[in-house]
Amino acid sequence: MLYNFYIDKRKNNKNDKFVDIKMDYPIEVGYNEYLKVKLIDFKYFNNLYNINSVLQNNQFIIRKTPTTYITLDESYHSIDLSTEFYTGDILNNTLNGNTIRTYENANIDEVIQTTNYKVIYTRPTGTGAVPLFKNIFTGVDNNGISMDQRYNEIIVENKLNPFLLKRLSWGVYDDGSIIPEAISFKLEISGSVDGISYVNIPFITNDTISYPIRGILVSPTTTSSLLKVLTNITPYRFYKFKVVNLEHLETSTYYNNIIGNFKLSRLQLQDVEYNNDIIVGTPINYNITIPNGFYNSTNFITTINTLLIPHELVLSLNTITNKISIANNTTFLPLLETTDISIELLLPNLNIKENFGIEEDIIDIFRTGYTADNNINLINTSKIILATNLNFTNNTHNELIDGNSEATGIANILAWIDLDDPPMSCIKYRNYENNEYKIENKIITNIEITFYNEKLQQLVLDNALIHLQVKKVRSKYY
């Protein structure tokens, strides 16, 4: 005898993880009978979002851990650029054998450099390939180099490491000419990490060199400042120096006539050596939620990048390997008494790890970037499993893995159905193999069919059409 059940899940169990088929009358077997169960066919409209809270693959965590660097000690150290570039005589402007002089930028820039340091001296257009830069690093005043703020500036680069410029002394040579109008000078200093963007570095106390009106010729003299402390707390690779006048006369005829009477005669630098104590702070977790929906690789990456803007992380997809790369665009300058932030990505379960193509639960996102282990996988589920509460004579065996915290044990499996078709299409199954299962139940009052994915998570399917058949069979031994 056959008992056929045609079920539309929406009628009684639309928002449940199961279908409960209640019998009008119990199915019972006699002493010489047994029952078999068979799923004839199944149809499901695949509207289960591939990223959603049900699968627990719509949330991940960005963890930020602050690391504070505190200065413990500092000592000043003179930067001996005189010996670095020039021969031993401190008043001799002869370059030593380790120094190369070149002219760049249409001869505007005069460059001297060794393997350790590089100095660029900028001159007026049309100067030509002639050496004008002199040794102003000795700490002994001489007649110096032009300091016309319209053209002249000096850039000192440490080619190996950033250094923390903390003190300097500078001087101005005066040739003794008449000064019809008072003029004052100051040294402007700025630092840069990349040689492109510069940050102004003031002195802690005002430091100017001034000349009052002078109506007669006098003997040449040099006025130099004592070593003055800078406000700088950042190690830079590049430092720029420029002498400017405080009266803003640079556009006047007077400035043009008088500036040649003054030269920059000294530039003596001191950096600071320091030790840092490192204090690792308490990590802070930021929960990131991806809106439920159907995602392809393009809008998946775009959506996550929008969510990660506050954290300065950017995802990209390699179109050849289909692997995600994560760029950490945060910046950190090793400031004294400042804080750096380390970033970790936490993926709480297997489902979302497979979406990202990442095998680890926690990964560090360094500023060098990160590339996933595997390709991304945005399939919502590969299989729909129909399990039943009926007691099979030969129980089905499974070796499945947990996808998330909703994973649970699974009863006897009626069907294992592919879910390979695109979203918003119909999944159709027909039991062409005629698979049926002998059961031990002697009386059936209801049959419960529960839906799972291949990661042992029960699924709420809001639609399904099911044809189930129970067969009463007489034993051939009677």
Q: Which long-range contacts (CB under 8 A, 24 or more apart) does 316-323 make?
A: 317/376, 318/371, 321/375, 322/297, 322/357, 322/375, 322/376, 323/357, 323/371, 323/372, 323/373, 323/374, 323/375, 323/376
Neighbouring C-beta atoms of residue 155, cutoff 10 Å: 20
State the DSSP H helix or E strand holding residue 301, giving kind and residue range, or none if neither. Answer: helix 297-307
Pinpoint the residues of the chain covered by CATH 2.60.120.260: 72-276
| Spatial separation of the C-alpha atoms in residues 12 and 75, rounded to whole Å | 80
Q: What are the structure tokens assigned to 290, written together?
A: 């991806």
| Rg for the chain, CA atoms, rounded | 40
Report CA 451 to chain centroid distance, whole Å: 40
Per-residue pLDDT of the chain (478 residues; tens, 9 = 90+): 899 999 999 999 999 999 999 998 999 998 889 999 999 999 999 998 999 988 889 999 999 999 887 665 567 889 999 999 998 766 678 999 999 999 999 999 999 999 999 999 999 988 899 999 999 998 676 678 999 988 999 999 999 999 989 999 999 999 999 998 888 999 999 999 999 999 999 888 778 899 999 999 999 988 888 778 888 878 899 999 999 988 877 777 777 888 889 999 999 999 987 666 788 899 999 999 999 999 999 999 999 999 999 999 999 999 999 999 999 999 886 655 578 899 999 999 999 999 999 999 999 999 999 999 999 999 878 899 999 999 999 999 999 988 778 888 899 999 999 988 888 899 999 999 999 999 999 999 999 999 999 988 899 999 999 999 999 998 875 4
User: Which residues make Cβ contacts (< 8 Å) with residue 476, sequence separation at least 6?
Assistant: none
| Spatial separation of the C-alpha atoms in residues 152 and 172, rounded to whole Å | 14
For residue 61, what pLDDT is reported?
97
Q: CATH number for the 2-48+381-474 domain, one of 1.10.10, 1.20.1070, 2.60.120, 2.60.290?
A: 2.60.120
Looking at residue 393, its amino acid is T
| Spatial separation of the C-alpha atoms in residues 240 and 391, rounded to whole Å | 84
Question: 209 pairs with which residues across the strands?
Answer: 185
Q: Are 413 and 386 in contact (CB under 8 A)?
A: yes
DSSP designation for 361? S
| Spatial separation of the C-alpha atoms in residues 355 and 363, rounded to whole Å | 15
Q: For the segment 355-396, what is each residue's pLDDT rounded down to a tens digit?
A: 999 999 999 999 999 999 999 999 878 899 999 999 999 999
DSSP assignment of 42-74: EEEE----SBSTTTT-SEEEEEEEEEEEEEEEE
| Spatial separation of the C-alpha atoms in residues 106 and 166, rounded to whole Å | 33
Report CA 104 to chain centroid distance, whole Å: 36
For residue 71, what pLDDT is reported?
65
Q: Are 361 and 346 in contact (CB under 8 A)?
A: yes
For residue 294, what pLDDT is reported?
92
Q: For the segment 192-235, what is each residue's pLDDT rounded down to a tens digit?
A: 999 999 999 988 877 889 999 999 999 998 888 877 888 887 88
Report CA 367 to chain centroid distance, whole Å: 6
Q: Are 169 and 224 in contact (CB under 8 A)?
A: yes
Q: Are 230 and 194 in contact (CB under 8 A)?
A: no
Neighbouring C-beta atoms of residue 378, cutoff 10 Å: 16
State the DSSP H helix or E strand holding residue 354, giving kind and residue range, or none if neither. Answer: helix 350-356
Give the E-state strand segments of 160-290 in sequence order.
Answer: 165-174, 183-192, 199-200, 208-211, 221-224, 228-229, 238-245, 262-280, 284-289
Q: CATH number for the 72-276 domain, one of 2.40.160.40, 2.40.50.100, 3.30.70.1400, 2.60.120.260?
A: 2.60.120.260
